[in-house]
Structure formats: structure tokens, C-alpha cells
């Protein structure tokens, strides 16, 4: 079955869910254009999810995708947290932040029974997961709503695992991709493949449709992915400067500057490797740090630095998530961008 038929869409393009930089406005604009808009739900509780879903449904009657994380949250370790705060201490002093005032606690919640209950009421057409799939009984509840289930694979082994465990289509997330690596069977960065190495190998290894993600920034990139056997594409970074995204002014400026040509994987902002534009804290402490607590616990201690620096107009402590190819980031309407990218399917 084609991806268009599976997801009931006219254009086999998925606007990547991007937690922290977009809500229903972007998803609605893309879905209304005939592609698949996505609502990132990793930072929403059940009340927030219901609010966003109500707003999204009021703006589109087309299919859309709801995206959840399904990680096992790291357990707090006092020693690790103390080491992390010690590494950040010079910055607290520099920015005048009292370390005693910093709250601890997780920044992102995994998919849960409470969130599944909201899905049962709203019955979205598509649900995608990052970091594998939820426990079988939760996945069963999602599937029972009639939703098609997608998840990201960063290696051939992950793609095979996802197919065997119930994914209806697989997003082959190449190393170029912005934001968090969806890796879940390994934490070995050296196992990660670029999009055009990963994609054909995943296509050869599974029977379900394969969606290419990572580094696709224009219609030519879409065409190249399709010629390597993709059934569709998922694009994130290119949407970050559209008016429907809530990307901050600091982040938008970085994406449209020469600085965007230098990205790296970093665990400093959350505890898991994610790709962003190299900034001061990444240069000075990482980009990968052994002392940062596990996902999502690293977030709490760095957030006050981010807030204070941003209030002074600086992105030195901001996760400037971006893929390796930010050349497609343009301040144009998301529907116009979708139609530009969709030309890659036709010529
Ligand atoms: C700012 C940003 C936030 C992201 N957040 C999520 C997320 O919440 N869930 C998810 O599944 N993927 C997330 N991703 C990864 C995308 O799904 C996708 O793999 C990636 O955007 C594709 O590469 P590209 O950015 O080069 O287009 C994010 C990517 C970016 C750039």
C-alpha cells in the first residue's frame, strides 16, 4: 500500500513533529495543504494535549499525526546531578543565578495510559513515536483507535525491530537530522548512518513503507530520497522559520546565519544526543559530556542559564536544534513551503 493511501493524504510528506518549537498552528497549515501535519506531544500533559487537539480539530478536518516520546526516564542520581551542576557552576556565577533556586525534575514525559485515554476520545489518523514503541498493551490501545503507527529507526536493526513489533511505516532518520536521535536499541553514536546510507538499506530490509528523514531541505532533496526507494519524506528543519512555528527569534536568526552550517550532536540540553547549531556551551562543555545526567534529567539544571541568557539576547545556552542542512529555512508560509517541497514528487 502506498504511504498516501496508508495515511489518507494527497502529498506523501510529513512535517516532522518538533517539540518546543511548534504547536497546532503549523500542523493545521500543513495538513490543510494535503501533506501530514504533526503535533509534538512530548512536552504536553493530558490537559495540554486535549487543548491542542481541540484547537487543531477546529482548524482542519484533514488527517494529522500526534507524536510522543516513549523513553524510559533516567532515574535521578544525586551524585550525577551534583557533578552536572558543578560543571555549570561557573556559568551560574557569570549570569548571577543562585544554584539553590534551580528546581530538578524531568523535562519530557513518555507516552502513558493517561495520554492513551485522550487518543481514545480524539481518534487521530496517525500516531508516531520517537525512541522505539510504547509497551505492548499501550501500543495495542493506540492501534485499537484505528490510528496508523509510525516510529523512527536510526539503524537497519531498529527498522527490523519496529516492523516486527507493529509499526505500520518506518521513518529512516539519518544522522543529518535535527533534534533528538530516535535511537533506542543502542546508545553507540558510531552506529548511526547518514540518510542516503540508511535509507536504501532499510528499504531492502522491511516490507512496510519507509519515510526518509534528515537533511532534506528542498524539492531536489525530496526527489533524491524518492529515487533511493523512499515512500515519502519527513522534514523538520525547513519548517522552523515559517510563521506558523513558534521558534524563538534567537533560534530563527541562528538558522538563517552562516552559523547553521556547523551543527553537532549534543547531550547537554536533555541527556540524549540531539543535533543543534554549535553554540558556546556546546563548544566549552561538549558537545557530548560524560557528566550530563540521563534523558531527560539534564534539562533542569541548564534551563535557568538558557532563560537568563535569552533575556539578554544570547543563544549561548539555548538548544538551537537544526539538521545539517538549514538552507531550506525560509520565512515563508508553511503551506507555500509544503507545496514547494512537494514539487519533488512530480518532476
Ligand atoms: C527543532 C526540532 C525538534 C524536533 N523534535 C522532535 C520531536 O518532538 N519528536 C520527533 O519524533 N522528532 C523530533 N525531531 C526530529 C524530526 O522528527 C526529524 O527526524 C528531523 O527533523 C528530520 O531532519 P531535518 O531536520 O534535517 O529535516 C525534531 C527536529 C527538530 C529540528
Q: What is the pLDDT of residues 14-32, one digit of tens each?
A: 999 999 999 999 999 999 9
Nearest alpha carbon, ligand 1 atom 11: 130
Q: With a cut of 90, say whether residue 103 has pLDDT above it.
A: no
Nearest alpha carbon, ligand 1 atom 21: 236
Q: How far is the CA of 153 from the centre of ligand 1 (A)?
A: 13
* Atom number in ligand 1 closest to CA 42: 8
Nearest alpha carbon, ligand 1 atom 6: 18
The pLDDT of residue 296: 94
- Strand arrangement of the beta sheet that strand 148-153 belongs to: 13-15, 232-235, 210-213, 169-173, 148-153, 126-130, 64-69, 37-40
Which grid cell is 23? 504547536
Q: With a cut of 90, say whether residue 336 has pLDDT above it.
A: yes
pTM of the model: 0.97
Coil, strand or helix at 128: strand
* Mean pLDDT value across residues 182-200: 97
Give residue 106's pLDDT band: very low, low, confident or very high (50, 70, 90).
low
Q: How far is the CA of 97 from the centre of ligand 1 (A)?
A: 31
The average confidence (pLDDT) of the chain is 97
Q: How far is the CA of 177 from the centre of ligand 1 (A)?
A: 7
Q: How far is the CA of 16 from the centre of ligand 1 (A)?
A: 6
Strand pairing class (179-180; 274-277): antiparallel
Which grid cell is 227? 529515487
Residue that has been written with the C-alpha cell 487537539 in this structure: 53
Coil, strand or helix at 170: strand
- Among 65, 107, 129, 236, which residue has the most ligand 1 atoms within 8 Å of its CB, making it the best to mutate? 236
Q: With a cut of 90, say whether residue 73 has pLDDT above it.
A: no
Which grid cell is 275? 543535533
Q: What are the φ/ψ torsions at residue 290 (nearest 5 degrees)? A: -75, -20
| Ligand 1 binding residues, C-beta < 6 A | 16-19, 21, 40, 42, 67, 130, 152, 173, 176-180, 213-216, 234-237, 321-323, 325
* Atom number in ligand 1 closest to CA 237: 25
The pLDDT of residue 218: 98
* Mean pLDDT value across residues 308-328: 98
Q: How far is the CA of 337 from the centre of ligand 1 (A)?
A: 17
What are 282-307's pLDDT values in tens digits?
999 999 999 999 999 999 999 999 99
Residues 6+ apart with CB under 8 A from 135: none
Q: With a cut of 90, say whether residue 201 has pLDDT above it.
A: yes
* Atom number in ligand 1 closest to CA 152: 11
Distance CA 347, CA 235 (A): 19
Residues 6+ apart with CB under 8 A from 58: none
| Residues β-bridged to residue 171 | 152, 211
* Atom number in ligand 1 closest to CA 129: 11
Amino acid at each position: 500500500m502506498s504511504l498516501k493511501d496508508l495515511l489518507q493524504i494527497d502529498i506523501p510528506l510529513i512535517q516532522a513533529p518538533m517539540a518546543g518549537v511548534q504547536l497546532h498552528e503549523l500542523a493545521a497549515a500543513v495538513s490543510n495543504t494535503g501533506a501530514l501535519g504533526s503535533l509534538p506531544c512530548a512536552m504536553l500533559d493530558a490537559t495540554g494535549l486535549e487543548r491542542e487537539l481541540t484547537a487543531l480539530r477546529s482548524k482542519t478536518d484533514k488527517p494529522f499525526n500526534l507524536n510522543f516520546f516513549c523513553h524510559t526516564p533516567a532515574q535521578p542520581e544525586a551524585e550525577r546531578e551534583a557533578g552536572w551542576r558543578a560543571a555549570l557552576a561557573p556559568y551560574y556565577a557569570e549570569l548571577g543565578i543562585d544554584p539553590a533556586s534551580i528546581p530538578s525534575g524531568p523535562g519530557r514525559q513518555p507516552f502513558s495510559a493517561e495520554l492513551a485515554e485522550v487518543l481514545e476520545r480524539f481518534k487521530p489518523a496517525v500516531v508516531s513515536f520517537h525512541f522505539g514503541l510504547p509497551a505492548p498493551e499501550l501500543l495495542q490501545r493506540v492501534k485499537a483507535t484505528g490510528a496508523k503507527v509510525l516510529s523512527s529507526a536510526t539503524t537497519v536493526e531498529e527498522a527490523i525491530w519496529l516492523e516486527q513489533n507493529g509499526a505500520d511505516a518506518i521513518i529512516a532518520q539519518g544522522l543529518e537530522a535535527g533534534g533528538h536521535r530516535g535511537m533506542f536499541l543502542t546508545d553507540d553514536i558510531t552506529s548511526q548512518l547518514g540518510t542516503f546510507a540508511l535509507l536504501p538499506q532499510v528499504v531492502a530490509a522491511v516490507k512496510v513503507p519507509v519515510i526518509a528523514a534528515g537533511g532534506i531541505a528542498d524539492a531536489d532533496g525530496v526527489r533524491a530520497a524518492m529515487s533511493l526507494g523512499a515512500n515519502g519524506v519527513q522534514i523538520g528543519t525547513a519548517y522552523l522559520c515559517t510563521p506558523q512555528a513558534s521558534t524563538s527569534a534567537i533560534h530563527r536568526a541562528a538558522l538563517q546565519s552562516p552559523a547553521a552550517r556547523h551543527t553537532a550532536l549534543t547531550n547537554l540540553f536533555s541527556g540524549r544526543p540531539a543535533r543543534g547549531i554549535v553554540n558556546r556551551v556546546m563548544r566549552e562543555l561538549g558537545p557530548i559530556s560524560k557528566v550530563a545526567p540521563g534523558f531527560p534529567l539534564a534539562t533542569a539544571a541548564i534551563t535557568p542559564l538558557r532563560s537568563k541568557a535569552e533575556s539578554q539576547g544570547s543563544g549561548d545556552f539555548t538548544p538551537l536544534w537544526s539538521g545539517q542542512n538549514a538552507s531550506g529555512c525560509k520565512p515563508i508560509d508553511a503551506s507555500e513551503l509544503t507545496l514547494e517541497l512537494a514539487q519533488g514528487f512530480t518532476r
